[in-house]
Structure formats: C-alpha cells, structure tokens
Amino acid sequence: IRAYMLRYLADVERFDDIRPMFAFDCILKGIGAVFIGGGEEEGSIAEILWISWDRLITDPRSRMPLYEDSNVRGFATWYPVDEAAARYPKAKDKLKDMSRNAPVMDEFHPDLPQGFTCSYQNEKRVLVVDLWVKNPADKNWYYLCFSGDVLLAKPGISPYIGWRKGKQYATCPLVLV
C-alpha cells in the first residue's frame, strides 16, 4: 500500500507541498503519518492527507517501530465550533452547548488547551477525535468519532476498505511511517 500511496502523492496530491512536512515529522520527531482514504477497487486510493505528529493517537502498548501491532490509532483536531457543527450537523446543538463554558486560553499558550473545548480571542473551539480500534477476534477495525462525551458519527465498523488476498476487510486508514 505504501508504493500506491507514494505514487498517488507524486501524481495527484501536490507531493511537493506535503513532502517537507512529512519529512520533518519522520526525521525530527521519529514518526510520520498519512491518512489514506481507500477507493472501491483493490489498490485504488481516493485521498491522502498528511497528519501532523502532534495530532496522533497511538496504542501505548505497541512494541513495533511503525505500530504494526497497534490496536488503536487515531488523530485529534481542533475545529472552530461553527466548522465542527457544519461537519457534524446532527451534533450541532450539543457541540455549541459544550463550548459555551469553554475555558479562555492565555495569550502565551493558545495552542495548548486542556480538555475538549477552549476559547481564544473570541473563537470557541472543540477537539474532535477520530479513532480506530482493532477487534482482535475478527481483525477488522472499528471507527469512533467524538468530542468529549458527544458522539459525532455513528460508531461501527470502519468504512475504509483494505484488501488482503483478494478479499475486502475493514481497515484503519491511518498509516504510520
């Protein structure tokens, strides 16, 4: 899958824009990550996005260097409340309610909020977590998207498709390098 990923990056996804950020993460931080949205056919790729190292969520019990044995992978992203509400319209009211009492960040550390909400210079933000968990019994990955105690998408089997020996299976679209 990495060969397909690199070919797609070079051909379609503005590889020159992504490469320096990805290389920085790999070399200086020790890990890089990309989100690979799969297509409908074996070997096809629909989208590739760079995920910054500081947004990653990984399995703390993983012992392999690229987290191949990981049972948990994900990433967390801060969104302005209005953008999060537009992305997840079914949870719009709950997101706005939870952000009403958001703690105000000081001007020295606006990028280090605590909890799932924050407010900085009149902008309220919420932390959205995209998480994939591997079921050891069936080897499929399951997806969960939440912010605090608010579910933003229906939990269930991962919508991303992987291929193993010509058969489809639910996979985690987050590849760590």
- Residue 26 CA: distances (Å) to CA of 52, 57, 87, 97, 104: 10, 16, 30, 38, 33
Position 165 scores a pLDDT of 78
Distance CA 21, CA 11 (A): 18
Q: Identify the H or E element spanning 6.
A: helix 2-11
pLDDT at 88: 93
Could you tell me the pTM of the whole model?
0.76
Higher model confidence: residue 45 or residue 177? 177
